[in-house]
Amino acid sequence: MIMQPKLNIVPFVSVDHMMKLVLAVGVERFLTELAGYIEDDFRRWELFDKTPRVASHSHDGVIELMPTSDGKLYGFKYVNGHPKNMREGLQTVTAFGVLADVGNGYPMLLTEMTILTALRTAAMSAVAAKHLAPKGARTMAIIGNGAQSEFQAIAFNALLGIDRLRLYDIDSSASRKCAKNLAGMGFDITICATGQEAVEGADIITTVTADKQYATILTDNMVGPGVHINAVGGDCPGKTELHRDILLRSDIFVEFPPQTRIEGEIQQLAADHPVTELWQVIAGKTEGRKSTRQITLFDSVGFAIEDFSALRYVRDQLQSTGLYEELDLLADPDEPRDLFGMLLRAKAAAAA
Ligand SMILES: NC(=O)c1ccc[n+]([C@@H]2O[C@H](COP(=O)([O-])OP(=O)(O)OC[C@H]3O[C@@H](n4cnc5c(N)ncnc54)[C@H](O)[C@@H]3O)[C@@H](O)[C@H]2O)c1
């Protein structure tokens, strides 16, 4: 006899299960495999429903919904960004997400995405750098050593072989935390006293700071020829990290231009400033890095398709690992139209 699936149940991946999943797979392998899912989805970019994320801005932060669909599956992420949270003992970024079946609209997965966002952001950055960073790059400066920073380091190690890190944060305890967490993973780590010191000799510069303002984490004189910049922290209107002059000297690669023009570093530029869509590079339709002296910039803001890839990846791990709970999420009356009858039967059962 074929077992009927439990129609009320949606697999739920809690924070505890996500941590167990990442540890069971291994962080490096998780990031590498997730990068593969992202590349697969970027190669079929044109299939997807795409829209800039729906953002609700407030004085202290932003809450965003990020939906997309490939016609078979639908995914969305809820995510916030509140730079002041860290000072109150809270995460700057928290997230959860859903994957659903387009055929019947039923959710197929509900999962924590705070950890998953850090993983997908790092995997996305490393995928971009694979195509844009100078060949043989080994040294990366990471400016901003908060929650995302270790994930970035490990992804760049796993996908590009980066093994020398130069860390800088306005709060030196963040750099010490980052160095301590990465100890024993094969990195040669230098903690730097200034951003200027951090970028010395770096092939790749990652900026991943959190501040709700037009910040200037990198000034023009800090960026020499041939460098790849992975600009992660500027991801909201009025929240950027790079001096405008750097943008004018760089070849700029973006996820989804209509969203990046609102949220990315390029909000500082004219609306028609030329940018290259990263999917075109990944799909082999256009070139990434063309010369050794070129400055390449990945103006990362985080796009829904990356979260969709991450949701697909997590869903594909569930059966083999069993690392989820069964969540009684969907009302499933015996007769579909008898939703109210289900309520009455529950009342009768409670009374008995
Ligand atoms: N592009 C994306 O896809 C994406 C995804 C996730 C997060 N983000 C962004 O990345 C940023 C970092 O996120 P997080 O979770 O690591 O935040 P976090 O608050 O944990 O860490 C941010 C760090 O930046 C440091 N910092 C702030 N101003 C600085 C400055 N001027 N110079 C040097 N260091 C400075 C802080 O001291 C802190 O240690 C946020 O702005 C977040 O919105 C982007």
Regarding the beta carbon of 163 and ligand 1, being less than 6 Å apart is answered: no
Q: What is the pLDDT of residue 1?
A: 42
Distance from the alpha carbon of residue 212 to the mean position of ligand 1, in angstroms:
10
Regarding the beta carbon of 142 and ligand 1, being less than 6 Å apart is answered: no
The residue contributing the CA closest to ligand 1 atom 31 is 217
Q: Which mutation among 209, 254, 278 tests ligand 1's pocket best, with the greatest number of atoms within 8 A of CB?
A: 209
Residue 174 alpha carbon, nearest atom of ligand 1: 39
Smallest CA-to-CA distance from 61 within 90, 103, 31 is with: 90
Distance from the alpha carbon of residue 125 to the mean position of ligand 1, in angstroms:
14
Q: Cβ contacts of residue 17 below 8 Å, gap of 6+?
A: 323, 324, 325
Is 235 annotated as catalytic? Answer: yes
Please report, as a single letter, which amino acid is at residue 189: I
Angle between helices 114-132 and 149-160 (to 10 degrees): 40
Distance from the alpha carbon of residue 232 to the mean position of ligand 1, in angstroms:
8
Q: Contact, 257 vs 269, CB < 8 A?
A: no
Q: Cβ contacts of residue 317 below 8 Å, gap of 6+?
A: 21, 25, 323
| Cβ burial, residue 63 (10 Å; 0-12/13-18/19+) | middle
Record the pTM: 0.96
Distance CA(150)–CA(143), nearest Å, equals 12
Angstrom distances, CA of residue 350 to CA of 93, 220, 343: 41, 69, 11
Distance from the alpha carbon of residue 169 to the mean position of ligand 1, in angstroms:
10
In tens, the pLDDT along 168-222 reads: 999 999 999 999 999 999 999 999 999 999 999 999 999 999 987 889 999 999 9
The residue contributing the CA closest to ligand 1 atom 3 is 302
Smallest CA-to-CA distance from 201 within 216, 223, 233, 232 is with: 223
Q: Is 192 helix (H, G, I), strand (E, B) or coil?
A: coil
Angstrom distances, CA of residue 343 to CA of 7, 69, 163, 335, 336: 17, 33, 59, 13, 13
Q: Contact, 205 vs 87, CB < 8 A?
A: no
Distance CA(71)–CA(165), nearest Å, equals 41
Q: What is the pLDDT of residue 5?
A: 72
Give the active site residue among 235, 245, 316, 334: 235
Q: Which mutation among 93, 119, 214 tests ligand 1's pocket best, with the greatest number of atoms within 8 A of CB?
A: 93
- Residue 227: count of CB within 10 angstroms of its CB: 24
DSSP string, 68-124: EE-SSEEEEEEEEE-GGGGGGTS-S--EEEEEEETTT--EEEEEE-HHHHHHHHHHH
Smallest CA-to-CA distance from 64 within 303, 321, 229, 278 is with: 303
Q: Is 232 helix (H, G, I), strand (E, B) or coil?
A: coil
- The structure tokens 């590498």 sit at 32
Distance from the alpha carbon of residue 83 to the mean position of ligand 1, in angstroms:
8
Please report, as a single letter, which amino acid is at residue 329: L
Regarding the beta carbon of 145 and ligand 1, being less than 6 Å apart is answered: yes
Indicate the pairing of strand 214-218 with strand 228-231. unpaired
Low-confidence ranges of the chain (pLDDT < 50): 1-3
In tens, the pLDDT along 137-146 reads: 999 999 999 9
- Residue 332: count of CB within 10 angstroms of its CB: 14
Q: Contact, 93 vs 147, CB < 8 A?
A: yes
